[in-house]
């Protein structure tokens, strides 16, 4: 099924937030109720100049990001990345796809609404939005950002949380490329074992973030590509360099 691209107005965003909470409490999704929000002219407005949108989508994160990047023409209209109404409406369209599943196939709602509705208050959590952040990464970095684009769209992953939360890292193409070179296993489409470990273990993604926070005082990281950044990392990262 193909539909016109829309965006929620303020009332629509509130209605969707209410729908999420009811769905969470009932642990089920009322599709008829969702449709009554999605296509309600009092809660949405049609966005002209865009192709029709498919309501079914490949759940792989990289495929979702590629599809939305092209449909929204995000390279030509980067301002759309910050449109709360648009990304909230898109989350409503693909809501079932964005909900995690347990091993036995049951739905598992997150308690964090910022996965579905972009939020900047009380603190900026835009990077947590499942659709917006993945689409931005693909639009800006393409396959260099694979470490953020692996798995299914509802999956966040510890390494994404560790790296994307820091603004200097989440928007730096060279740093994201370096993280991909170090910690991403191309053959298995997984994070290398031990890369996301916490604590005092050397060479992890947490240490990568800490080291780069120090390096930005003496290196122009914005002017460096991923290979160059990897080359200046201390010896504790050698095990990942050898494996990349």
Q: 26-43: per-residue pLDDT in tens?
A: 999 999 999 999 999 999
Whole-prediction pTM value? Answer: 0.88
> Which residues are within 8 A (CB) of 74 and not within 5 positions of it... i.e. 6 or more apart?
68, 80, 81, 135, 136, 139
Task: Name the more confident of 147 and 12.
Answer: 12
Residue-level pLDDT at 200:
56
Domain boundaries, the chain: 1-149, 157-244
Residue-level pLDDT at 242:
66
Question: First-to-last CA distance in the chain?
Answer: 42
> Which residues are within 8 A (CB) of 18 and not within 5 positions of it... i.e. 6 or more apart?
none
Check if the beta carbon of residue 105 is closer than 8 Å to that of residue 162: no
Alpha-carbon span 24 to 109, nearest angstrom: 6
What would the pLDDT profile of 46-100 be if each residue is shown by its tens digit?
Answer: 999 999 999 999 999 999 999 999 999 999 999 999 999 999 999 999 999 999 9
Q: Is the pLDDT of residue 198 over 70?
A: no
Alpha-carbon span 90 to 68, nearest angstrom: 9
Alpha helices, DSSP H, located in the chain: 10-26, 31-38, 61-71, 84-93, 95-98, 130-141, 158-164, 167-170, 173-183, 205-215, 226-231, 238-243
Return the closest-CA partner of residue 206 out of 195, 218, 190.
195
Query: Which of 84-98, 102-116, 117-131 is modeled with the greatest confidence?
Result: 84-98
Indicate the pLDDT class of residue 5, thresholds 50, 70 and 90. Answer: very high
The burial class, CB within 10 Å (0-12 / 13-18 / 19+), for 48 is: exposed
* Mean pLDDT within 151-164: 82
- Give phi and psi for 125, each to the nearest 5: -120, 25
Check if the beta carbon of residue 147 is closer than 8 Å to that of residue 185: no
Report the range of poorest mean pLDDT among 42-46, 67-71, 105-109, 233-237: 105-109
Percentage, residues of the chain above pLDDT 90: 61
Residue-level pLDDT at 4:
97
Alpha-carbon span 204 to 233, nearest angstrom: 12
Check if the beta carbon of residue 137 is closer than 8 Å to that of residue 65: yes
Residue-level pLDDT at 124:
67
């Amino acid at each position: 099924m193909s539909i016109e691209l829309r965006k929620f107005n303020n009332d629509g965003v509130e209605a969707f937030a209410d729908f999420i909470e009811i769905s969470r409490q009932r642990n089920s999704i009322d599709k008829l109720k969702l449709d009554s929000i999605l296509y309600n002219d009092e809660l949405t407005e049609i966005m002209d100049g865009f192709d029709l949108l498919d309501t079914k989508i490949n759940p792989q994160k990289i495929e979702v990001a590629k599809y939305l990047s092209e449909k929204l023409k995000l390279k030509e209209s980067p301002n759309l990345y910050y449109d709360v109404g648009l990304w909230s409406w898109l989350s409503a369209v693909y809501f079932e796809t964005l909900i995690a599943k347990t091993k036995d196939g049951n739905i598992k709602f997150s308690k964090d609404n910022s996965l579905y509705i972009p939020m900047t208050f009380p603190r900026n959590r835009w990077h947590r939005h499942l659709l917006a952040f993945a689409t931005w990464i693909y639009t800006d970095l393409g396959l260099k950002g694979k470490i953020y684009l692996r798995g299914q769209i509802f999956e966040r992953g510890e390494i994404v949380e560790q790296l994307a939360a820091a603004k200097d890292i989440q928007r730096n193409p060279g740093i994201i490329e370096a993280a991909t070179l170090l910690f991403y296993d191309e053959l298995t489409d997984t994070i290398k074992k031990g890369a996301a470990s916490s604590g005092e273990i050397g060479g992890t993604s947490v240490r990568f973030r800490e080291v780069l926070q120090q390096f930005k005082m003496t290196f122009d990281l914005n002017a460096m590509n991923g290979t160059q950044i990897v080359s200046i990392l201390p010896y504790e990262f050698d095990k990942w360099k050898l494996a990349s």
